[in-house]
Amino acid sequence: MYVSDTASQHIPFLDLVTPHTELEAELTSVFRRALLTASFVGGPMVAEFESAFAAFCGVSHAVAVASGTDALRFAIVAAGVQPGDVVLTVPHTFIATAEAISQAGATPEFVDIDDGTFNMSVERLEYYLEQRCTRDRTGRLVSLRSGGPVTAVVPVHLYGQMADMDSILRVAGKFGLIVIEDACQAHGAEYFSQALNRWMKAGSMGHAAAFSFYPGKNLGACGEGGAVTTNDDRLADQARLLRDHGQVKKYYHDAVGYNGRMDAIQAGILLAKLPHLQDWNARRRHRAAEYRRLLAGVDAVRLPHEPSWSRAVYHLYVIRTAHRESVMSHLKSAGIDTALHYPIPLHLQRAYADLNYSRGDFPVSERVSAEIISLPMFPQLTAEQQARVAAEMEVFLSKAPRKETESEVALLATATRTA
Ligand SMILES: Cc1ncc(COP(=O)(O)O)c(C=O)c1O
C-alpha cells in the first residue's frame, strides 16, 4: 500500500474554506441583500428558507430558529413535555441533547446505545420502559429512578445515520410517549420504514425534530442556526411562538417565550447552500465507501455499520480501535487531523453529576467513547488524502500489539450490559 513521503502535507479534519469560496458570489450577495433591505431578523429570506427546508425534509413545517439547541428545546416544549417530566435519551451524544431536556424543566434519563450503529438501542429502551418504570395510581408511566412521569423520548441520529425509527415509534406508541428526533447531525439522512413501505428523511418521522446549522454541519450556516420540523400544525405554531417571546402579534404575548429567531443573513446563506446538500451528501457517502474499501483489511479497526434500512450521510466517519490514543497521535505526527465525538458519555459528565449515575451504568456507551476516532470527512476530501489516512493507519496498526478482537469486544459489551 502507498505511504506518502510527505508527512508534512496537512490533512484537515474538516475543510470549511473551500465550500465557501466555491459559492462566494452567491453568499456575498446574501449579505448585500440584507444590507440593502435592512431586513436582519425574520423576513422573506427566513420564510423562503423555511419552505425550502420543509420540502427537502418532506414535512409540512420547518420553523427556523437561532440554534440546534433552541430547536430541540422548542420542539420538546411545543410537543407538550412539562416541567418535572422524564425524557429518555442516550448518553452517547453531544451534551445539547440533554441540555435541551433540562432547559425544558424535564429530567433526562438515559438508555444505552446499540453497539453496531451507536444509536439508541431499541432493546434497552423497551427494557427500561418495561422494567425500570411503573404505573402510578393514576395510571401514569413513572420512572422508578426519579419518580417523574415519563412522557417523551429523544433518539439521536448520530454521525448522520438515523436511529431505528420504526421500532422506536412502535415502542413509544405502546407507552404513549412523544418522539422528538435529534436530527442535528443528519440533514438528508434516510431510513427505510417498513411500516410506511418507503424511504423517509430525517426529521419527518417523529412528532417533531430538531436540526442544527452550526457551520461544520452537512448544511451549515456562517454562524448559528437551527430548525424545528414537524407535520403537526399546532406544534409548529407553538414553536413559532416560543422562538419570538411568545408573541402572536407585535407586543401581544400569549406565552413566556425566548429570543430564538434566525438571522435573515443565515437563512439566506442556508437557502443558497440547500440546493448543494444532496450532492455534498452523495460525496460524503462516496468517501465513506472509499474508507470502507481502503480499511477493509485493517483488522484492528472496526468500521461504521450501516444497516440495509439506512442511507447515512456521514456527518462524521467514526471508526473504533482498541489503540485509540496511539493511532490518533501517530496520525497527528503524520499531519492528519482527527477528532473525538465524544470522549465522555453524558452520565459521567460533571454537569450531570446530580443525576447520580455511575461508571458501568451504560457499558456500550462507555466502551464506544473510549475507542472511537473521527477521521477526516468532508465532501471535498480527495482520494489521495484518504489513501494517505488509510495507509498511515495500516502501517501503524500492523505493528501494534493486538488487544481484543472484534468479537471479544462485542462479547464484553454484551456481558457487561446492565442498564
Ligand atoms: C447531536 C446534536 N444535538 C444538538 C446539537 C446542538 O446544536 P447547536 O450547536 O446548533 O445548538 C448538536 C450540535 O452540535 C448536535 O450535534
171-228 pLDDT, tens per residue?
A: 999 999 999 999 999 999 999 999 999 999 999 999 999 999 999 999 999 999 999 9
36-40, 287-291, 349-353: the lowest-pLDDT one: 36-40
**Distance between Cα 70 and ligand 1 center (Å):** 9
Q: Is 182 in the pocket of ligand 1 (CB under 6 A)?
A: yes
113-168 pLDDT, tens per residue?
A: 999 999 999 999 999 999 999 999 999 999 999 999 999 999 999 999 999 999 99
Which atom from ligand 1 is nearest to the alpha carbon of 158? 1
Q: How far apart are CA 350 and CA 157, in angstroms?
A: 24
Which atom from ligand 1 is nearest to the alpha carbon of 212? 10
* Cell matching residue 348: 459521567
413 compared with 219, residue with greater pLDDT: 219
Mean residue pLDDT of the chain comes to 94
Residue 8's pLDDT band, with cuts at 50, 70 and 90, is low
Residue owning the nearest CA to atom 10 of ligand 1 = 68
* Max intra-chain CA distance, the chain: 71
* Sign of the CA dihedral running 117, 123, 124, 129: positive
38-65 pLDDT, tens per residue?
A: 889 988 999 999 999 999 999 999 999 9
pLDDT at 7 exceeding the cut of 70: no
The pLDDT assigned to 403 comes to: 56
Q: Is 94 in the pocket of ligand 1 (CB under 6 A)?
A: yes
Angle (deg, nearest 10), helices 264-295 and 24-37:
160
The pLDDT assigned to 402 comes to: 57
**Distance between Cα 184 and ligand 1 center (Å):** 5
Q: DSSP strand E in 202-343: where? A: 208-212, 226-230, 247-249, 252-253, 310-311, 317-320
